[in-house]
Amino acid sequence: MHTLNAENREMLKKERQEFILHQLNLHNKVLSADLSRNMNVSDDTIRRDLQELSQTGRLIKVHGGALSKSFHKAFDRQMVYSIESKNIIAQKTAQLVQNGMYILTAGGTSILEFAKSLDPQLNATFFTCSLNAAIEFAHHPSIEVVMIGDKVSKDAMLTTGANAVQTIESIQADLCILGINSLDTSFGLSENDWDVVQIKKAMIKASKKTICIGISEKLNSQQKIKVANMDEIDILITELDPNHPTLAPFKRQGITIY
Amino acid sequence: MHTLNAENREMLKKERQEFILHQLNLHNKVLSADLSRNMNVSDDTIRRDLQELSQTGRLIKVHGGALSKSFHKAFDRQMVYSIESKNIIAQKTAQLVQNGMYILTAGGTSILEFAKSLDPQLNATFFTCSLNAAIEFAHHPSIEVVMIGDKVSKDAMLTTGANAVQTIESIQADLCILGINSLDTSFGLSENDWDVVQIKKAMIKASKKTICIGISEKLNSQQKIKVANMDEIDILITELDPNHPTLAPFKRQGITIY
DNA sequence: TCAAATAATGCGGTTTTATGCATACTTTAA
DNA sequence: TTAAAGTATGCATAAAACCGCATTATTTGA
């Protein structure tokens, strides 16, 4: 089949500028050099983009790059720290996604961060029960998003129920990416909400590989209902270095750490 | 020689434009050069197509091609000015909802505003295809929300497809609340996106009563695809006083005005 | 039905835009 | 202070957009 996207490495000007703003939303700052390398255009082009965006007041241009307008807002250090961690996790996770994959995901802030970090060129299909994740994925230029429908569980902002489970069962996915609520070497992955557990169990079953992502403080804790035993989990991603001692017990159980 | 469908037969203008929108929905961007090569027409033709589509607000034309509307949406702050009107509409609409009702809704800013205006004591069940509406409804303390699942249409942020239609068909709702894109006394309710039309048609069919809500400037305009004839619509709500002359023709067709 | 009216399309030539490069200048930090 | 990195400016070029006009479909209406 003829795809219109053959080797379409170049971006349209506006696209580039949107991308820059998106990066700014994400990281609060961008470096011209990074951008030009990333998007395969000359420094001049990026500089002109930044200039235009700055003229229309969408960002603050500084020597070497640009800052987000909202950067000057007060922020507490705790928050920033946690965001930084989630960003690391997101980056690592994004690297595991390949073109053409079918991926099941639940919700959670880590997943949202992951959605933002996906390569703009990626082609993949995401199935999700999370309203927020669906929206985030839908912002991506090229991936396809399928929302799994059912009753909306208000505190998780997730669709749950028999219908959703049934839909998931009809999918054969390559990956299942789950945010960690609690993960423990003996009890495995656990969760407090019965309905959400059913969804996650179904997702794991419907996928060839299961990836758990989350900040390390969620490790070595348990919640009331088990989602999966450790042997059902293939990959664990945290903000820590793969060789960090905290992760050793998990590695010993045969889980791949990134 | 056997070539692919898009190339060997001449496409009609409309076909071409639908194809362009489809590509846009898929990839969020198109390049004029790709399009003209792919459909075997001159650059000028494509340029004129894009121009038309851009004039009817279905895409954003940029140098070198076009971008999907959803790309730019976040920065569209012209929506701010009509907030007051939308609020009036929301208030009026909220009064029609009663305890115990089952309600189908699509998306759109009017619907979102409506969701915020619901009585906090209300008990009702909302079914929706709109990701944003689902989130808004889910913030309400007591109502129940069911997300109708399917592929996410990126510019509408709506789930569309056979699955969604089928799900809707299995519902017997009391009300169907639709945002107006275009409403015209002769052509009825119309819309630009084929997939979205299918959803709305199904919603109307599955409900006892259909309510159309939207600001008055959407009245007396037509779009390409018909969603419903006037006789399928029961109630019309705009920001105007029910006795405003603009609304007289609609009243004459037996529609209740609020 | 068929000719007139209208719409759609393609083409040549012109104008505009986007971009990269060369150069000279400015900021930054060791 | 000085070298490295970033910036501004002008210029060249290729691609895209535009414009008017000729040609070809399509629609309309007696």
CATH of B79-257, one of 3.40.50.10470, 3.40.50.12500, 3.30.450.20, 1.10.20.60: 3.40.50.10470
* Residue A170 contacts B, CB cutoff 8 Å: no
Pairing verdict, β A60-62 and A65-67: antiparallel
Q: How many residues does chain A have?
A: 258
State which H helix or E strand residue B110 sits in: helix B109-116
Q: Say which residues have a Cβ less than 8 Å from residue A70's Cβ, sequence separation at least 6.
A: A28
Cα(A95)–Cα(A91) distance, rounded to whole angstroms? 7
Asked, colleague to colleague, whether B5-74 and B79-257 share their fold, the answer is no
CB contact under 8 A, A131 and B152: no
Measured CA to CA, the distance from residue B43 to residue B48 in angstroms comes to: 9
Protein A64 CA to nucleic acid D4 C1', in Å? 13
**pLDDT given at position A59:** 87
pLDDT on residue B83: 62
A126 — contact with chain B (CB < 8 Å)?
Answer: no
The fold adopted by the segment(s) B5-74 is Arc Repressor Mutant, subunit A (1.10.10)
Stretches in chain A below the pLDDT threshold 50: 1-8, 72-79
Residuewise pLDDT in 10s, chain B (258 residues): 232 333 334 677 888 888 888 888 767 789 998 899 888 888 899 999 998 888 877 888 899 999 887 665 544 433 444 567 788 899 999 999 999 999 999 988 889 989 989 998 999 999 999 999 999 999 888 999 999 999 998 878 899 999 999 999 999 999 999 999 889 888 899 887 888 999 999 999 999 999 999 988 788 877 778 899 999 999 999 999 999 888 999 999 999 999
> Nearest-CA neighbor of B30 among A40, A126, A141, A27?
A141
Burial of A35 (0-12, 13-18, 19+ CB in 10 A): buried
Q: In this complex, is the C-beta atom of A195 within 8 Å of any C-beta atom belonging to chain B? A: no
CB-CB neighbours of A102 under 10 Å:
18
Give me A241's structure tokens: 């270095």
Beta bridge mates, B151: A146, B160
Q: Give pLDDT, residue B146.
A: 97
SS3 A253: coil
Give pLDDT, residue B78.
38
Tell me which DSSP letter residue A145 carries: E
Question: Is A94 in contact with A111 (CB distance < 8 Å)?
Answer: no
Domain boundaries defined on chain B: 5-74, 79-257
Q: CA torsion angle for B67, B70, B75, B76 (degrees, to 10)?
A: 100
A38 beta carbon < 7 A from strand C?
A: no
The pLDDT of residue A70 is 64
* CB-nearest partner of A138 from B7, B134, B152: B152
In this structure, chain B runs to a length of: 258
Q: Does B191 touch chain A (CB under 8 A)?
A: no
Cα distances (angstroms) measured from residue B226 to each of B214, B229, B257? 17, 8, 21
CATH superfamily of A77-257: Translation initiation factor eif-2b; domain 2 (3.40.50.10470)
| Distance separating alpha carbons of residues B103 and A63, to the nearest angstrom | 54
Q: Which of the 8 DSSP states describes residue B246?
A: G
CATH fold of A13-72, please?
Arc Repressor Mutant, subunit A (1.10.10)
C1’ C16 / CA B224, Å: 33
Cα distances (Å, whole numbers) of residue B100 to A107, A153, B142: 30, 19, 11
Q: Flag if B138 and A131 touch (Cβ within 8 Å).
A: yes
- Both tokens assigned to A193: 């909400």
CA of A84 to C1' of D3 (A): 34
State the pLDDT at residue A133: 94
Q: What is the pLDDT of residue A185?
A: 94
